[in-house]
Structure 1
Amino acid sequence: MSDYQQIKVESSPGRLDIILNSPPVNILNIAMMEEISDAVNDAATDTSLCALVFRAEGKHFSAGADVGEHQEDKVAEMINSFGRMFRRISEVGAVTVAVVQGSALGGGCELATFCDIVLASDQAKFGQPEIQLGVFPPVAVVTFPILIGRNRAIELLTTGKIIGAVEAERIGLINHVFPAGEFDEKVSSFIGSLTSLSAVAISLTKKSLDLSMYLPVMEGLRQADRCYVEELMSTDDAHEGLAAFLEKRKAVWKNM
């Protein structure tokens, strides 16, 4: 295993865990995203893997991408690292499982809900509050309409509303909600049901299922990345929203 600084990697038969390791809120900075990409890339070559699990140290899954890295001198690199991480995850034959406790917001919500299966504590919360900073989530704009339908996606992405795990399960954003007191036991049992199966059968099932969806989703992600860097980040409001967040003040929108 590589000597990671921002994540931990744990391996057991049929299972590999990538653990976000920058508590308390596990901000997805460029360094962490590059480490995740490297770990996922290594996992993709393991033909015995049934489950690739994403979880986090601390009380929260992730509060999202580093707002400081949205500045003009960093944003292109940040978006490239962000997109690379999701492309790597999409190439894994194993079932990807997000194990979410606490908050999964912004890029953290995108990472969790991009996984094939999301298991959440009943104390977990999900949301994409980027609109409040004058920007949009470049992965969720592609994946949310597929997961929950266009109208619900529009509502969540244009209001920045944060919802609880029970509501997220009800609308189809996540798969299962378990009581916090039984969470670890239920998660272990669920993942165990995957690791007892044939890795090659799982991989080919995923491959066949994704044939009709993979190319449109990947093209959508490329177009969303382009729009984010070339169009959104050229607006006054994007710079104002990010600056206001960092300066802890209310944004003054110019609508341009």
Structure 2
Amino acid sequence: MSDSPLKIWRERDGTLLRLRLDRPKANIVDAAMIAALDEALAASQDDSAVLAVLLDHEGPHFSFGASVAEHVPDRCAAMLTSLHALVLRMVAYPVPILVAVRGQCLGGGLEVAIAGHLIFAAPDAKLGQPEIQLGVFAPAASCLLPERMPRGAAESLLFSGQPISGAEAYRLGLAHQVAENPEAAALAYFDAALAKHSPSSLRFAVRAARLGLGDRVKAKLAELERLYLTDLMATHDAVEGLTAFLEKRPVKWEAS
């Protein structure tokens, strides 16, 4: 196996950049995965030949989420900084990022997926933000989910920690298409909807569609990082939830 957690190649005469998470079955979004994704996107964003990116995954699951070990108090600042830089790069990316999802797409994995443009999901995929079950919250998802689906549905994902299916994500508008083979569906979309466009005009269309989104997300993320690092991580329950998970023991919330 390659040491890299990400496979990178080109298709469609170089016009489609393929990125594949390659640490199955969990495809954890840890520091190495974040760095690989950010580097690959940074290296290609000014390539005028690229019309789109397709992000998918090896193994049965898109991602179980971020590394819980990197969420503990002495490590979480670095983790949030790098993850949020990747999210902001994706939100502002100049061409469409298509995301193909099978299996579980949770936590930081879903944050990466929703920072892209169009999600193609298997009907039985599971998309969710389980952070609240560990006594913390998901800053990037708190910014992005209300931008991509009805606020009530977004808040339910954030408050409950319970996932929704790919079929439900499509019904709520979070997923663009539901398909048994999301990768094939995304490739078909590229061929039918994007491949014949002017590369420069497509970039203007993407910029126009997301005008203002990057500024809103950047401002809100800065405030949520402060809330997470300064306020949340000073509480007993946030540290207890993460520690209990890592120690594989029942959680003991502070009495209210």
TM-score, normalised to structure 2, is 0.93
Displacement after TM superposition at 1:184 (Å): 4.1
SS at match of 2:124: coil
Q: Where do residues 23-102 of structure 1 align in structure 2 (5 Å cutoff)?
A: 23-102=24-103
SS at match of 2:174: coil
Looking at structure 2, the residues matched to 47 and 245 of structure 1 have their Cα atoms a distance apart, in angstroms, of 45
- Equivalent residue, structure 2, for 1:252: 252
Paired residue type of 1:192: D
TM-score, normalised to structure 1, is 0.93
- Equivalent residue, structure 2, for 1:186: 185
Looking at structure 2, the residues matched to 133 and 145 of structure 1 have their Cα atoms a distance apart, in angstroms, of 22
Contact 2:97–2:118 (Cα < 8 Å) also in 1: yes
- Equivalent residue, structure 2, for 1:147: 148
- Equivalent residue, structure 2, for 1:204: 204
- CA shift digits 1:17-43 (9 cap, x unpaired): 111111111001111101111111012
Looking at structure 1, the residues matched to 238 and 201 of structure 2 have their Cα atoms a distance apart, in angstroms, of 45
Contact 2:111–2:140 (Cα < 8 Å) also in 1: yes
Say if 2:152 is the partner of 1:126.
no
Paired residue type of 2:220: G
Moved over 4 A (4+): none
Looking at structure 1, the residues matched to 56 and 215 of structure 2 have their Cα atoms a distance apart, in angstroms, of 27
Structure 2 segments unaligned to the other structure (5+ residues): none
- Equivalent residue, structure 2, for 1:215: 215
Displacement after TM superposition at 1:199 (Å): 1.7
Looking at structure 2, the residues matched to 255 and 141 of structure 1 have their Cα atoms a distance apart, in angstroms, of 26
In the superposition, relative to structure 1, how do residues 101 and 213 fare at CA in structure 2: closer, same or farther (>3 Å)? Answer: same
SS at match of 2:212: coil
Contact 2:127–2:163 (Cα < 8 Å) also in 1: yes
Looking at structure 2, the residues matched to 149 and 142 of structure 1 have their Cα atoms a distance apart, in angstroms, of 13
- Equivalent residue, structure 2, for 1:230: 230
- CA shift digits 1:27-73 (9 cap, x unpaired): 01111101111111012111121111111111110111000111122
Contact 2:88–2:217 (Cα < 8 Å) also in 1: no
Contact 2:54–2:186 (Cα < 8 Å) also in 1: no
Looking at structure 2, the residues matched to 216 and 87 of structure 1 have their Cα atoms a distance apart, in angstroms, of 10
Looking at structure 1, the residues matched to 255 and 97 of structure 2 have their Cα atoms a distance apart, in angstroms, of 39
Contact 1:79–1:229 (Cα < 8 Å) also in 2: no
Contact 1:147–1:173 (Cα < 8 Å) also in 2: yes
For the aligned residues, what is the CA RMSD? 1.6
Paired residues in the alignment total 252
- Equivalent residue, structure 1, for 2:106: 105
Displacement after TM superposition at 1:251 (Å): 1.1
Looking at structure 2, the residues matched to 252 and 199 of structure 1 have their Cα atoms a distance apart, in angstroms, of 55
Q: Identical aligned pairs, as a percentage?
A: 33
Contact 1:102–1:123 (Cα < 8 Å) also in 2: yes
- CA shift digits 1:198-232 (9 cap, x unpaired): 22111101111222333112211222222212221
Paired residue type of 2:8: V
Looking at structure 1, the residues matched to 249 and 117 of structure 2 have their Cα atoms a distance apart, in angstroms, of 38
Paired residue type of 1:35: A
Displacement after TM superposition at 1:185 (Å): 3.3
SS at match of 1:139: helix
Contact 1:53–1:99 (Cα < 8 Å) also in 2: yes
